[in-house]
Amino acid sequence: MLKRKINPQDATKIKKYFDECKNVVVFTHTSPDGDAIGSSLALKEYLQRKGKNVSVIVPNVFPDFLKWMNESDKIVLYDRQRAFANNLINMADLVCCLDFNMLSRIDELEACVRRSAARKILIDHHLGPDHFADIIISCPECSSTCELLFRVFEAIGGLSNLSLHGAEDLYAGMCTDTGGFTYNSNDPDIFMIIAELLRKGIDKDIIYRRLFNTYTLDRYRLMGYILHEKLVQIQDLHASYFCVSREELKRFNFLKGDMEGVVNMPLAIRGQKLSISLREDTEKPVVWISVRSYDDFSARELAERFFNGGGHFNAAGGHIDGTIEEAEEVCKKAIEAYREQLMDK
């Protein structure tokens, strides 16, 4: 028996919304990751099996290594299919927002959600949700939005309607948001959920390979280049960072998702507490930042304070508007600001 995370009143209301809706739009955050795509496609699959018309709309492109998921080819990219997406939004009588806590996380889609007269549901596991939805299911202690969505299905008595494809999507999101269940995954409930997904027929080993073992040769050469040429190690602070410019990414034929997980690699160095990745956008004057940490050092606090970002305690992100050189200077200041906390006590 799973610990109760969903308020029974909310569960009743969600079931009513799911039963009464006809046209549904599912949104997730910009630069969608495995948890975002997995939860969105799982909800789409679930509602389609109830006879609903469902579309998933994301702000921009998502990584190639997620495109094995069923109906991922039907995801609408707002930055490329704006008119078509707007028409879907205008027809929707239910809007579901997954894996983000603030409407600013969906960029230009924010205005679309605010304008929509449809009922709105937010399901997310990040801290401090905006109160823009009619129903807010927020559970920061959950490993992932996919875990939380499974709990929603259970709470409304809908697990029998969860298909094999939906189960694969949920497992993929849980797996990516926990680094293959190597962090943020000590709750026994997680493995009870995995057992239920296995009973649906998923092959967790194949899913793992699809998520983590399908990169290109260029991706591996990029990783080697970063670790050999770009990694800056600050030994007395047990911290490191690396910066990758637009030109360097193009040299290695960068594809969306090629930098996924690279920020975690320096944490394998003995005694390491903090790792920061800075990646220049290939088109816009912005630098995307990922922050990872171990134990009691808050990646989220650092990202909020220096990088206009946020996230989870040990895994966070943000951005700097400007050049890679400017972002590196901010990064150096951020690490120095936490000198006392990072040094050996």
Can you give the pLDDT at residue 345? 56
Is residue 13 included in any domain, yes or no? yes
- The last residue of one of the domains, among 161, 193, 212, is 212
Residues 6+ apart with CB under 8 A from 161: 46, 49, 50, 153
Is residue 1 included in any domain, yes or no? no
* Cβ atoms of residues 258 and 251 within 8 Å: no
- The last residue of one of the domains, among 167, 188, 212, is 212
**Where residue 319 sits, what CATH number does that domain have?**
3.10.310.30
Domain limits for position 264:
217-342
Can you give the pLDDT at residue 284? 87
Coil, helix or strand for 278?
A: strand
* Cβ atoms of residues 284 and 270 within 8 Å: no
Looking at the structure, tell me whether residues 227 and 186 fall in a common domain.
Answer: no
For residue 281, give Cα distances in angstroms to 244, 264, 274, 320: 9, 20, 23, 10
Is residue 2 included in any domain, yes or no? no
Per-position pLDDT tens, the chain of length 345? 799 999 999 999 999 999 999 999 999 999 899 999 999 999 999 999 999 999 999 999 999 999 999 999 999 999 999 999 999 999 999 999 999 999 989 989 999 999 999 999 999 999 889 999 999 999 999 999 999 999 999 999 999 999 999 999 999 999 999 989 988 899 999 999 999 999 999 999 999 999 999 889 999 999 999 999 999 999 999 999 999 999 999 999 998 889 988 999 999 999 999 999 999 998 889 999 999 999 899 999 999 999 998 888 999 999 999 999 999 999 999 999 999 999 875
Can you give the pLDDT at residue 214? 87
CA distance 57 to 59: 7
**Where residue 115 sits, what CATH number does that domain have?**
3.90.1640.10
The alpha carbons of the chain give a radius of gyration, in whole angstroms, of 20
Looking at the structure, tell me whether residues 221 and 85 fall in a common domain.
Answer: no
Q: How many domains does the chain have?
A: 2
- Entry pTM: 0.91
* Cβ atoms of residues 200 and 162 within 8 Å: yes
CA distance 96 to 56: 9
Looking at the structure, tell me whether residues 249 and 175 fall in a common domain.
Answer: no
Looking at the structure, tell me whether residues 183 and 324 fall in a common domain.
Answer: no
Looking at the structure, tell me whether residues 184 and 281 fall in a common domain.
Answer: no
* Cβ atoms of residues 147 and 188 within 8 Å: no
